[in-house]
Chains A and B, each alone.
Chain A
Amino acid sequence: METFLKRHHLLLILLCYFTTTFSLFAQIHWLIFVLALLCIGWRLGIYFGRLAAPSVMVNRLAAILGAALLMGVVFSQGLFSAMMHLIVLGYTLKFLELSARRDINVFICTGLVLVAVFYVFETSILMALWGMVLAVLHLALAMSLYSAHLSQHRQAKYLGRLVLVSLPLALLLFLLLPRLPPMWKLPLQNQAKTGLSDTVNPGDIAELSRSSELAFRASFAAEVPAPNERYWRVMTLDQYQGNQWSQSQSIKNAIDVAQRGGHFNIEMQGVMQAYELILEPSYQTWVPSLAVSQGRANRANLMANYTLRNEIPIGQRTMLRLQQFADTKMHYIDLTMARQNTLLPNTGNEQTRAWAAQLAAQSGSTQQKINQVLQRFTGERFSYTLKPPPLGPQQIDDFLFGTQAGFCVHYAGSFVYIMRLLGIPARMVTGYQGGEWDPEGGFLTVRQYDAHAWAEVYLDGRWQRFDPTAFVAPERVEQGLELALPNEFLADDPLSLLKLRSNPMLNQLYLAMAQFDYLWAVWVLNYDNQKQFELIKRWFGEVDFFGQIWLFIGLFVATIVFMLLWHLKPWQRVRLSVEDKLLLRLQKRFKANVGERQQGETVTDYCLRLREEADFSPQLAAQQRANLLKFAQCYNALKYAPLREQQRQETLDQLRQLLRGI
């Protein structure tokens, strides 16, 4: 019953299983692995003859247990995880019933689906290659099953060739097959959110600044903004509750609307430039943008606070095309918004309140008062640090009049607090500031440590940006965190690759890798219909939609023809020689009359037989009979005699003539 399952099959199955499941290690519940060990143990027991194959009962029991496990997972981790576990469970339980080839077939198909699941989580180049390795391993399992007579070495070679030859068609499909929009909504993978969160405590952004993880990359159609203009707005926080900044209910509602596809319609003016973002997965919906931007034909929707929200969480490296404008035509603020942006807890931070009251009492324009507040951050001995001393319950007082050392959130928070005390609508903005420009690759890299917080004040009828950090540590805004805080930068991560960049060679290598990774993200992971058009335009010139379809069909046919030629190698096939073709024609002519050449009959004998048996018209009979004999002679000479080229040509002509004469 199991004669087909040889040792190397079992080894290959185990290899497939372990490589695939360990690739999904982080996503799979540990119980699955326990189950896997049990199943594999049983399978090995069967293989070595120690155990009997499990009965149907055991199989069902295992399935029920698995299902129970699944239910637990569904509740704790969401539908996507449950579906994935269902597949992995089937993949695991297959070990119990590898009794026919059919079971291995199912195993292979399940494995291939799991490779796809793996791609949902991992999209880097290395992981993409690894996924291919996994897929090929599964094909190798099929190969070992159905080409068992070949040595393993030859199987591997054959499979390698098979995959290589299939690549052109796959690439063609990938490059030219128009992408369809998502057909229905699938459950999303449940992952821990990364990057900026919806609320900000004074220490939060400092925490984020310890991470050198990629946040996003951007490339610009025209030119890259100056470093101090690279303020990537992510969200506005307009609610202060004494210890943290958060979004008011109205913003939350707006986010909800935006995530459902609602777009804040406001007319923009002064087109500045288009830019593209490649967002790393944050599993959140926010989209960083330069003020003021809106999405171009994508699912990033503008909100009233001029930030963008994507309709689905960014679960994979996603490219978004945005358009930056100089300004909006009209600046919107309503009463609720004005009220919300001046709202503060009624008590607390008395020292600050007193100082604000004093400030308010002074004469002068609002602008002057703002400047005065900002001057305070430079004038006094404030320091910029990632590790500020802890603050007491009176946060603002403690910071302004006590520790006087803090990170961007401290400065922005205090500034907004004072503004509100002065009755000026103000809000905190979190996002990223700066980024590293790679002139060769033409893209800006923004990492988590570029996370920043600043303030916006409604002044002169529009929201204006004020960054108090720029006053205490201008180098942070101009040159980035690394130069602003050389001692504290990535202090927890001494081995970070970024720190080794002082070595020019390593730096070169790092940059090359980053560029390659960027290209990968742009041209592979986010290769979409628009990129398709760009590509076709570059290669084939302007092509309209139908042109694209024809192009696709044409190239598709060409690739299939290429594969056909490659596989069938018609030039290597033995062709019928001309004389044989002529003979076939002769046979066809006499098929009805005399019949075909018998097996074992030589051409001479056949012609002699024709001479005897065929019906000829009486007046031509003699001539034709003679021709038949000559035909045999010429045929034999052509086929068997060593002729020179010229002789051959002459005889061939003669043969043709004879055939006509018969």
Chain B
Amino acid sequence: MRNTVAPILSQLNQVVLGKEQQVELALVCILAGGHLLIEDLPGMGKTTLAQGLATTLGLSYHRVQFTSDMLPADILGVSIFDPQQQAFHFHKGPIFNQVLLADEINRASPKTQSALLEAMAEQQISIDSETYALPEPFFVIATQNPLDQAGTFPLPESQLDRFMMRIELGFPDPKAELAMLQGQQFSEVTKVIDVAQLLLMQQQVKAVSASESVLNYLLRLIGHSRYNATYPNPLSPRCSKTLLQAAKAKAWVAGRDYLLPDDVQAVFPAVADHRLGLLGGPQASGAALSETLLHAVDPLV
């Protein structure tokens, strides 16, 4: 199964130039079964990456541009009265796709955001006392713009916690940008694997073995954030679970079936930054905090 990883990554790297690390993290996030939040300035290739991911992995996807006047029904769907059958008929919204690309998620009102919340956590939605299961697999890839905060509703901690990872793309290096400008032709994004293969990959990721010393390291990382006054938002047990999943996926992508502290370190900033950061504080503080945390805890004892 692992030999498909390379083609997936190479295709994605052609779509988003010079961002090998972030691309890999995004793939890791999907393999670990988590939702992804991409945060960056407009025009950095957020949407391109999300689209590329969905296509490459052969997933059905729908893109929703979030706006402040958006209602939950716009995402979930509505029940419409069918005069012919004299009954309400549920029209599924864009959420009933394997990948929901939520563009500029922080523009939507909290009400709409929270509608997404249930879907992300439970993989099901409830409308009019009916529960509808969402497709398998189901991912939310959300993007948001860190600057230009006027008229936005920052995601609350509870919602941030639902995202396995938050990644930033950042500016491409000049070489990559030059290549882009030169209009280097790349082939059409095509499907590399299908859903069945993806599910199989996810299973293999779960089977990656984690030795006690790695788990211990992970726990010490989490624990360090809890008693230390430097970290205003201690990491939750959910975070430790998520971190383990993500690290496992990272190990699997790296071609190992056992976990190393390196894997944990590699995914840690993406997993922990948005959970550690102070709400309303500068976003960079989360990154600084996870950096200090990684330096404070030694992988070996």
Could you list which residues of chain A lie within 8 angstroms of chain B, going by C-beta atoms? 580, 583, 597-605, 636-637, 639-642
Contact B209 A641 (CB under 8 A): yes
Contact present for B296 and A641 (CB under 8 Å): no
A604/B260 contact (C-beta < 8 A), A639-B211, A642-B209 known: yes
- The verdict on A640 contacting B213 (CB below 8 Å), with A602-B260, A604-B260 known, is yes
Bound complex: CA A640 to CA B256 (Å): 11
Are A600 and B297 neighbours in the complex by a CB distance under 8 Å? yes
State the Cβ distance, A606 to closest chain B Cβ, in Å: 10
* CA distance in complex: A639, B260 (Å): 9
Are A641 and B258 touching (Cβ within 8 A)?
yes
State A451–B14 Cα separation when bound (angstroms): 119
Q: Beyond the given A599-B298, A604-B262, A636-B260, please list 20 additional residue pairs across the A-B interface where CB-CB is below 8 A.
A: A583-B300, A597-B300, A599-B295, A599-B297, A600-B297, A600-B299, A601-B298, A602-B261, A602-B265, A602-B299, A603-B261, A603-B299, A636-B262, A640-B214, A640-B258, A640-B260, A641-B209, A641-B256, A642-B209, A642-B258
* CB-based contact B211/A642 at 8 Å: yes
Please give, as numbers and ranges, the residues of chain B lying within 8 Å of A599 by CB-CB distance: 295-298
Closest B residue to A640 by CB, please name it: B211
On whether the beta carbons of B297 and A602 are closer than 8 Å, the reply is no
Contacts of A642 in B (CB 8 A): 209, 211, 258
- In the complex, which of the residues A580, A598, A601, A640 contacts B259, with contact meaning CB atoms closer than 8 Å? A640
Chain A residues with Cβ below 8 Å from B260 are 602, 604, 636, 640
How far, in whole Å, are A601 and B297 apart by their CA atoms in the complex? 9
Which residues of A lie under 8 Å from residue B213 when comparing CB positions? 639-640
Q: Which of B246-299 touch A at CB < 8 Å?
A: 256-262, 265, 294-299
- Which chain B residues lie closer than 8 Å to A603 at the CB level? 261, 299-300
A639-B211, A640-B214, A642-B211 in contact; A600/B258 too (CB < 8 A)? Answer: no
Q: A342 to B259, alpha carbons, bound, how many Å?
A: 112
Report yes or no: A600 in contact with B211, Cβ–Cβ below 8 A. Answer: no
Instruction: Tell me the B residues contacting A by CB distance below 8 Å.
Output: 209, 211, 213-214, 256-262, 265, 294-300
Flag if B295 contacts A602 (CB, 8 Å). no
- Chain A residues with Cβ below 8 Å from B299 are 600-603
Chain A residues with Cβ under 8 A from B256's Cβ? 641
Closest to A583 in B: B300
Distance between A479 CB and nearest chain B CB, rounded to angstroms: 81
The 10 closest A-B pairs by CB, nearest first: A641-B258, A600-B295, A640-B211, A602-B262, A602-B261, A599-B298, A604-B262, A602-B299, A642-B209, A636-B260
**Closest chain B residue to A597, Cβ basis:** B300
The minimal Cβ–Cβ distance linking A495 to chain B, given in whole angstroms, is 71
Selected A-B contacts with CB under 8 Å, 23 pairs: A580-B300, A597-B300, A599-B295, A599-B296, A600-B295, A600-B296, A600-B298, A601-B298, A602-B262, A603-B261, A603-B299, A605-B262, A637-B258, A639-B213, A640-B213, A640-B214, A640-B258, A640-B259, A640-B261, A641-B256, A641-B257, A642-B211, A642-B258
How far is the CB of B209 from the nearest CB of chain A, in Å? 5
Which chain A residue has the least Cβ–Cβ distance from B291? A600
Return chain A residues, CB-CB under 8 Å to B214: 640
User: CB-nearest residue of chain B relative to A641?
Assistant: B258
CA distance A604 to B296 in the complex (A): 18
A residues less than 8 Å from B294 (CB atoms): 600
Chain A hits for B209, CB < 8 A: 641-642
Q: How far is the CA of A222 from the CA of B298 in the complex (A)?
A: 78
A637 contacts which chain B residues (CB < 8 A)? 258
**How far apart sit A613 and B40, CA to CA, in the bound complex (Å)?**
35
Closest chain-B Cβ to A585's Cβ sits at a distance in Å of 14
Rounded to whole Å, the gap between the CB of A581 and the closest CB of chain B is 12
Residues of A within 8 Å of B262, CB to CB, are 602, 604-605, 636
Roughly how many angstroms separate A604 CA and B214 CA in the complex, as a whole number? 14
Q: Give chain B residues whose Cβ lies under 8 Å from the Cβ of A605.
A: 262
Q: How far is the CA of A271 from the CA of B260 in the complex (A)?
A: 88
Chain B residues contacting A597 (CB-CB under 8 Å) are 300
Residue of A nearest to B294 (CB): A600
A603 to B299, CA, bound (A): 9
CA distance in complex: A603, B214 (Å): 13
In the docked arrangement, what's the CA distance between A636 and B251, Å? 12
Residue of A nearest to B256 (CB): A641
Bound together, the chains give a CA A597 to CA B299 distance in angstroms of: 11
- In the bound complex, residues from chain B placing their C-beta under 8 Å from that of A640 are 211, 213-214, 258-261
| CA of A605 to CA of B294, assembled, Å | 13
Q: How far is the CA of A82 from the CA of B300 in the complex (A)?
A: 67
* CB closest chain-B residue, reference A580: B300
Report chain A residues within 8 Å CB of B265: 602
- What A residues does B295 contact at CB under 8 A? 598-600
A468–chain B nearest beta-carbon distance, Å: 93
CB distance from B261 to the nearest CB of A (A): 5
B219 to chain A, nearest CB (A): 15
CB-nearest residue of chain A to B293: A600
What is the distance, in angstroms, from B26's C-beta to the closest C-beta of chain A?
Answer: 23
Query: What is the CA–CA distance of A603 and B213 in the complex, to the nearest angstrom?
Result: 14
Closest to A639 in B: B213
Q: Return B100 CB to nearest CB of chain A, in Å.
A: 36
Whether B211 lies near A641 (C-beta < 8 A) is yes
Contacts of A636 in B (CB 8 A): 260, 262
Neighbouring A residues of B297 by C-beta, 8 Å? 599-600
Q: Name, among A580, A602, A604, A641, the residue most crowded by chain B CB atoms within 10 Å (CB to CB).
A: A602
Interface centre among A598, A599, A637, A640 (most CB of B within 10 A): A640
